[in-house]
């Protein structure tokens, strides 16, 4: 409920600490601490069944752990720099590992020792991320700071440059596991393009932060991920905001469709009775705060009034007023919040 209320009702900045509420913290449980590596651990990856965990480190080794915390395998990768990414190859029955590192190399390791030396591919920059897809068990992909996303076929050991980001350093990327043709690419810019890897010449859409007042250290993207079916994309920008972009709209009618249906309807528009006292007080208090240009406080009170309102008409007015408050306050993300309130009006 706390997280829902933070999204719906709003909050003052000094209330950010509520994210540390005891009930939320108590959901987390440290079941085991593993003494894993001799240096910083940069990447963790579960196998498909969730029974094995692979870890990659600045000590240039990969280790594979079971659920009891036992180290089953330790692989000397042969990399000459920090290991940034590791993946289980889907076709490898949990015995084939892919690694990528700051030495610009991608390697494929047979942890049973059937092959003495790993298969190695060279790139033109540090390789920050790897990805696999369950419906393409022999393929995997890499993202490097030489501006390229590459595709590898382990049946032929061939590699090709799939996407060229035009001199932008690729920091991360993600493949949607429910629709593996979708690929989101994170670079040293804020916009996140999404490609259909079957036609990778240009993106099919681009996720752009609606707030154009981001600080300089927010203008690069460090991580992207999809939900299971590719309807949403989660984007972390710099050391600041995390954005959730909706990629596919649902079947609810749009605001214009609703207005059109009201105009064409012969149904009498209902009248509204008296409001409860708490709602009336909150609404009037919000007006006073807004007129005094105390926009953060006004937004908070409008949010409280929304929680107390009972009719669609009242809610539409309050959403519009709160949206104007966001527009006037002009904090990071407020432009997006304003648009959200305008779109979500249920009149």
Distance, C-alpha 298 to centroid of its chain: 30
Query: Is pLDDT at 177 greater than 70 in this prediction?
Result: yes
Region 248-264 average pLDDT: 53
Predicted pLDDT at 208 = 86
* pLDDT one-digit tens code per residue, 103-113: 999 999 999 87
Predicted pLDDT at 340 = 80
Q: Pairing between strand 119-122 and 127-132?
A: unpaired
Higher pLDDT, 314 or 117: 117
pLDDT-based confidence at residue 272 (cuts at 50, 70, 90): very low
For the four alpha carbons of 40, 170, 126 and 160, in that order, the dihedral sign comes to positive
Domains of the chain as residue ranges with CATH: 2-246 (2.130.10.10), 255-343 (1.25.40)
Query: Is pLDDT at 11 greater than 50 in this prediction?
Result: no
Residues 6+ apart with CB under 8 A from 277: none
pTM over the 0.85 mark: no
Lowest mean pLDDT among 20-24, 224-228, 238-242: 20-24
pLDDT-based confidence at residue 286 (cuts at 50, 70, 90): confident
Per-chain mean pLDDT for the chain: 82
Lowest mean pLDDT among 93-102, 104-113, 246-255: 246-255
Q: How far apart are CA 10 and CA 303, in angstroms?
A: 6
Region 210-236 average pLDDT: 76
């Amino acid at each position: 409920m706390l997280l829902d209320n933070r999204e719906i009702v709003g909050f003052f900045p000094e209330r950010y600490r509520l994210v540390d509420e005891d009930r939320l913290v108590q959901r987390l449980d440290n079941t085991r601490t593993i003494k894993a590596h001799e240096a910083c651990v940069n990447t963790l990856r579960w196998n498909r069944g969730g029974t094995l965990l692979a870890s990659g480190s600045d000590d240039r080794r990969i280790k594979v752990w079971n659920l009891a915390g036992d180290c089953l395998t330790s692989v000397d990768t042969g990399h000459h720099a920090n290991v940034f990414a590791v993946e289980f190859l889907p076709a490898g029955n949990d015995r084939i590992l892919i690694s990528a590192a700051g030495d610009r190399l991608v390697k494929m390791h047979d942890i049973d020792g059937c092959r003495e030396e790993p298969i190695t591919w060279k790139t033109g920059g540090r390789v920050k991320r790897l990805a696999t897809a369950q419906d393409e068990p022999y393929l995997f992909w890499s993202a490097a700071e030489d501006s390229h996303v590459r595709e590898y076929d382990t049946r032929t050991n061939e590699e090709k440059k799939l996407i060229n980001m035009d001199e932008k350093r690729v920091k991360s990327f993600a493949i949607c596991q429910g629709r593996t043709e979708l690929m989101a690419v994170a670079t040293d810019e804020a916009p996140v393009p999404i490609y259909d890897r079957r036609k990778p010449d240009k993106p099919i859409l681009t996720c752009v932060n609606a707030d154009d007042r981001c600080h300089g250290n927010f203008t690069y993207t460090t991580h992207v991920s999809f939900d299971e079916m590719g309807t949403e994309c989660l984007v972390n920008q710099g050391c600041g905001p995390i954005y959730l972009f909706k990629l596919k709209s649902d079947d609810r009618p749009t605001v214009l469709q609703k207005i059109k249906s009201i105009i064409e309807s012969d149904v009498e528009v209902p009248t509204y009775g008296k409001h409860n006292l708490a709602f009336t007080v909150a609404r009037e208090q919000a007006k006073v705060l807004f007129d005094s240009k105390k926009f953060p406080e006004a937004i908070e009170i409008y949010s409280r009034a929304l929680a107390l309102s009972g009719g669609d008409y009242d809610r539409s007015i309050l959403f519009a007023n709160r949206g104007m408050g966001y527009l006037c306050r002009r904090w990071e993300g407020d432009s997006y919040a304003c648009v959200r309130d305008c779109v979500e009006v249920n009149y």
